[in-house]
Amino acid sequence: SQQGEEDPQALSIQEGENATMNCSYKTSINNLQWYRQNSGRGLVHLILIRSNEREKHSGRLRVTLDTSKKSSSLLITASRAADTASYFCATVLPGSSNTGKLIFGQGTTLQVKP
Amino acid sequence: NAGVTQTPKFRVLKTGQSMTLLCAQDMNHEYMYWYRQDPGMGLRLIHYSVGEGTTAKGEVPDGYNVSRLKKQNFLLGLESAAPSQTSVYFCASSRTQRDTGELFFGEGSRLTVL
């Protein structure tokens, strides 16, 4: 079964609004990563947050991690049409750090309307 | 640098035919992975390699074989294609050994099995 579950599955907003998507996972983790996938393209790494971190920023991206709730959220502020894409969370399970294996969620499809 | 390159980008097979997908990376990464992406299923790990000459099974290895004869190349083979293997296949690589960092993805190979 999938380790990560994103919520919502789809999100549609207007340009300039903020977009929040959530990821829940089932087991303890070493770190959690977020990736973006534009239609028909490969995935691109956005940000990594380690299990001992609670919040991390990168440009217009803000990621939080709550290990007690086994959940993470990705906030995109002041969204742009170019942010239209699918967003995936991915986790590294304890014991997998020497193999680099990532387990991906099913993704949130974000549409930003101009 | 080209990053991660997958060939071919598109392929149509008949049931029972065989084929090989080639992944090449020019970043001198130790780790390489093959994922498949299906609608509503996210990405699932097929096989992976932590170094030249080594391979290991992921979540969904049945029906696939892999080889890593050279550090820069990771081959995914289908010996007898089945319609259930219709999917988009992604290769990825990563650098770190001590802790898992970001994955670098290719653009994908879309395979249709009739």
**Digit-coded pLDDT (tens) for B57-108:** 998 999 999 999 999 999 999 999 999 999 999 999 998 655 557 899 999 9
Q: Cβ B99–A30 below 8 Å, yes or no?
A: yes
Place of tokens 């992406």: B37
Q: Which residues contact B92 (CB under 8 A, 6 or more apart)?
A: A43, B4, B32, B33, B35, B103, B104, B105, B106
Closest residue, chain A, to B108 (C-alpha): A42
> Cα–Cα distance between A10 and B46 in angstroms, integer?
26
Residue-level pLDDT at A34: 96
Mean pLDDT of A78-88: 97
pLDDT in tens, A16-32: 999 999 999 988 888 89
Position B98 scores a pLDDT of 53
**Spatial contact of B43 and A88, defined as CB atoms under 8 Å apart:** yes
Q: Is A20 on the interface with B (CB under 8 A)?
A: no
Q: Largest alpha-carbon pair distance within chain B?
A: 43
pLDDT in tens, B17-66: 999 999 999 999 999 999 999 987 789 999 999 899 999 999 899 999 99
User: SS3 sequence, chain B?
Assistant: CCCEEEECCEEEECCCCCEEEEEEECCCCCEEEEEEEECCCEEEEEEEEEECCEEEECCCCCCCEEECCCCCEEEEEECCCCHHHCEEEEEEEECCCCCCCCCEECCCEEEEEC
**Mean pLDDT for the stretch of residues A60-88:** 97
Mean pLDDT score, A56-75:
96
**DSSP class of A82:** G
pLDDT score for B102: 86
Query: Cβ separation of B41 and A101 shorter than 8 Å?
Result: no
Residue A1 vs residue A88, higher pLDDT: A88
**Predicted pLDDT of residue B76:** 98
Integer Cα distance of B95 and B28 in angstroms: 8
Whether B107 and A104 lie within 8 Å, measured CB to CB: no
pLDDT at A1: 43
